[in-house]
Amino acid sequence: MRKLISNFKRLFTKKKTVYLVIVLIAVIVGVTAYSKLSNKPVAEADGFTSSKVTRGDIALNISGSGTVEPVLRYEIISLVRGEVISCHYEEGDIVQEGDVLYQIDSTDLQNTIQKQHNSISKAMLTAKTNAENIENLSVRAPISGILSGFNIKEGDTARTDSVGTISNNSSFIATVPFNASQLGHINIGDTATIVSALYMTTLEGRVTYKSSASSLSEDGSALYDVEITLANPGSLASGISVGATIHTATGDVKSPASGTIKDAGVANVIPKVGGKVVKVYARDNGHVNKGDILFQIDGTEYLQEQQRTNLELKDLQLSLQTSTKELENYNIKAPISGVVISKEYKTGDTIGGSQGASASLMTIANTSSMVFNLDVDELEIAKVVEGQTANITADALADQAFVGRVTKIAKEGVSQNGVTTYKVELMIEEPGELIAGMNVNAEIMVEEAKNVLLVPVSAVSGIKNGQGTVMVKNTADTDGNTDKPVRGDGFAGDKPAQAQQRPNTPDMSKKPANAVSNYVPKKVEIGIANNDYIEIVSGLNEGDEVFYVGASNNNRNFFGGGGMPMGGSNMHVQPGRSGR
């Protein structure tokens, strides 16, 4: 000021009026500017922005967009070929799970199944025969009696011819003729008396058979044979002539002619299968009982045949099961309940032509719920968990809002241009008017806090391990504040945090000239942060004032060398890549 006055006097002495006027104007302007500068708030004069600590709500959201799709969607694909003989559903129709959508002509397959049934029946008959042959390898006595004419030895080859005879002489059968009038009075079970003229003896017996076929007697009358069974007393011989009187309910009936007697049982031993004899159990002229094993035939060949038949039968049964199962494919059913959204084949079309049997016939979708996927950055994916809710809007339905829920998070990311993203599936359980294919926008709320202390996120620097630093007024000269003033090498004796610079933060390698006297750093505990605000957990009170370099002062400097680093593993929002 003294220089200005001295210059003014010099100019006045030289009587340069023009210069005087100019200098006077300059003095007035300079004084005014100086006055205004000296009356400015300290923070603004230093190039800082101030903000008061306020109370409110804060939320961290991850946003993105996608295309909604039905929660369930099935393409109906035919596994068989043939003509469509019925299809009762059209696009837009509602179907229930299990409804028959298509019926395909199955005539050829049904014919194949019938042939398989026939083959199984034949194989079962063969198996039955094999089982009987194996059982018949043991040649048994058909009746009890004396075995005669039996000459089989081990090692012989038995054939299906008679190898001996068994005679049962413990009883006899007398065959005696009666005429037609007598036959009507005779019944099975009637008692009879047998008379032998040769042995002058009578024996008692019982009627066991009467013939319905007649034979002619010597005088030309019709006679009918009646068989009477009697015990062998030991004195009769087969072939002798006898007469008989039958005691009927209406009286005795005497035979008009003689008959003969024979052994009650005579049977030939005939093997039912042939083969090598491996064991003989009976001897000629010996007594055998009905069912006794006479000899054994080697069964190797028959057992092998049985195994082959059983395997063939199993193969046929498996083929039948496959064909029967395949028959179900000719009735194509709805796998889910939903809406038909497309239909490609109709009644009369042939499946399996140029498009092949696997062509899509119809598409069904369950539109009761919708899903879509968001691509979430690798720096934010750790904040997303299943069950989180999301606010959803659709471009096509501007006046409607929807609620989504995180239902699936990809375990593997996709890298592109150096950035890895992960698919996050969101489900909309009440889609309203949403239609498959619509574009939607979503905000997943990953963190929130209500009624907490907030400051602009730019006001906090040196963030690390859930703590940061803010700048407050230096009140050491007036109220005895023990906070140390800012030095050129950092905060209150601490070295500046080493972390990446926040985007758009000015270079603070130089401090303002009066920073030491005006501001001091203060440590605070922080919580949730988004792109605008950060939660102050402790260290400040509501209404406190903090100072920081604002967006309009990006060309100004803060305290020496510290800058506004944003490092720290507990930071809720990574600089430059946070979702909002």
22-57 pLDDT tens trace: 433 443 444 344 334 334 454 554 567 899 999 999
pLDDT at residue 377 greater than cutoff 60: yes
With respect to residue 374, please indicate whether it lies within any of the assigned structural domains: yes
Under a CB-based contact definition with an 8 Å cutoff, are residues 422 and 409 in contact?
A: yes
The DSSP string of 516-570 is HHHEEEEEEEEEEE-SSEEEEEES--TT-EEEE--GGGTTS--STTT--B---TT
Answer yes or no: do 411 and 493 share one domain: no
Q: How confident is the model at residue 367 (pLDDT cuts 50, 70, 90)?
A: confident
522-564 pLDDT tens trace: 999 999 888 889 999 999 999 999 999 865 444 333 333 333 3
User: How many folded domains does the chain comprise?
Assistant: 3
Range of the domain at 24: 2-39
Average pLDDT over residues 100-113: 93
Percentage of the chain modeled with pLDDT above 90: 55
Answer yes or no: do 15 and 73 share one domain: no
190 to 199, 233, 249, 257, 477: CA distances (angstroms): 24, 20, 8, 19, 149
Average pLDDT over residues 182-206: 90
Q: In whole angstroms, give the CA distance from residue 26 to residue 8.
A: 11
With respect to residue 459, please indicate whether it lies within any of the assigned structural domains: yes
Distance in Å from the first CA to the final CA of the chain: 55
Other residues' Cβ atoms within 10 Å of the Cβ of residue 564: 23
With respect to residue 29, please indicate whether it lies within any of the assigned structural domains: yes
Answer yes or no: do 430 and 459 share one domain: no
Task: Collect all residues with Cβ–Cβ distance below 8 Å to 502 and sequence separation of at least 6.
Answer: 458, 564, 565, 566, 575, 576
Answer yes or no: do 458 and 432 share one domain: no
- Produce one character per residue of 149-164: b if its CB has 16 or more CB atoms within 10 Å, e if not: ebebeeeeebeeeebb
Average pLDDT over residues 381-396: 92
**Token pair of 327 as six digits:** 């028959």
With respect to residue 119, please indicate whether it lies within any of the assigned structural domains: no
- What pLDDT score was predicted for residue 31? 37
Angle 81-82-83 (CA atoms, 0-180°, nearest 5)? 145
With respect to residue 512, please indicate whether it lies within any of the assigned structural domains: yes
With respect to residue 483, please indicate whether it lies within any of the assigned structural domains: yes
Q: Which residue has the higher pLDDT, 504 or 136?
A: 136
Answer yes or no: do 432 and 482 share one domain: no
Under a CB-based contact definition with an 8 Å cutoff, are residues 68 and 434 in contact?
A: yes
The CATH number of the domain where 509 resides is what? 2.40.420.20
Q: In whole angstroms, give the CA distance from residue 188 to residue 264.
A: 17
74 to 23, 286, 322, 356: CA distances (angstroms): 90, 82, 25, 19
Answer yes or no: do 471 and 541 share one domain: yes
The CATH number of the domain where 421 resides is what? 2.40.50.100
Kindly state the helix (H) or strand (E) to which residue 578 belongs, with its residue range: none
Answer yes or no: do 366 and 457 share one domain: no
Answer yes or no: do 427 and 470 share one domain: no
With respect to residue 155, please indicate whether it lies within any of the assigned structural domains: no
Under a CB-based contact definition with an 8 Å cutoff, are residues 552 and 503 in contact?
A: no
Q: In whole angstroms, give the CA distance from residue 341 to residue 437.
A: 12
Q: In whole angstroms, give the CA distance from residue 460 to residue 475.
A: 20
Answer yes or no: do 467 and 544 share one domain: yes
pTM of the model: 0.49
Q: What are phi and psi of 4, to 5 degrees?
A: -60, -40
Least confident window among 42-56, 282-296, 309-323: 42-56
- Which amino acid is residue 448, in one-letter code? E
Answer yes or no: do 503 and 476 share one domain: yes
Answer yes or no: do 411 and 346 share one domain: yes
Average pLDDT over residues 494-516: 38
Percentage of the chain modeled with pLDDT above 70: 78
With respect to residue 365, please indicate whether it lies within any of the assigned structural domains: yes
- What pLDDT score was predicted for residue 60? 85
Angle 209-213-214 (CA atoms, 0-180°, nearest 5)? 110
Q: Which residue has the higher pLDDT, 145 or 296?
A: 296
Average pLDDT over residues 379-405: 91
Q: In whole angstroms, give the CA distance from residue 566 to residue 461.
A: 6
Answer yes or no: do 430 and 461 share one domain: no
Task: Collect all residues with Cβ–Cβ distance below 8 Å to 216 and sequence separation of at least 6.
Answer: 222, 223
Q: Which residue has the higher pLDDT, 265 or 273?
A: 273
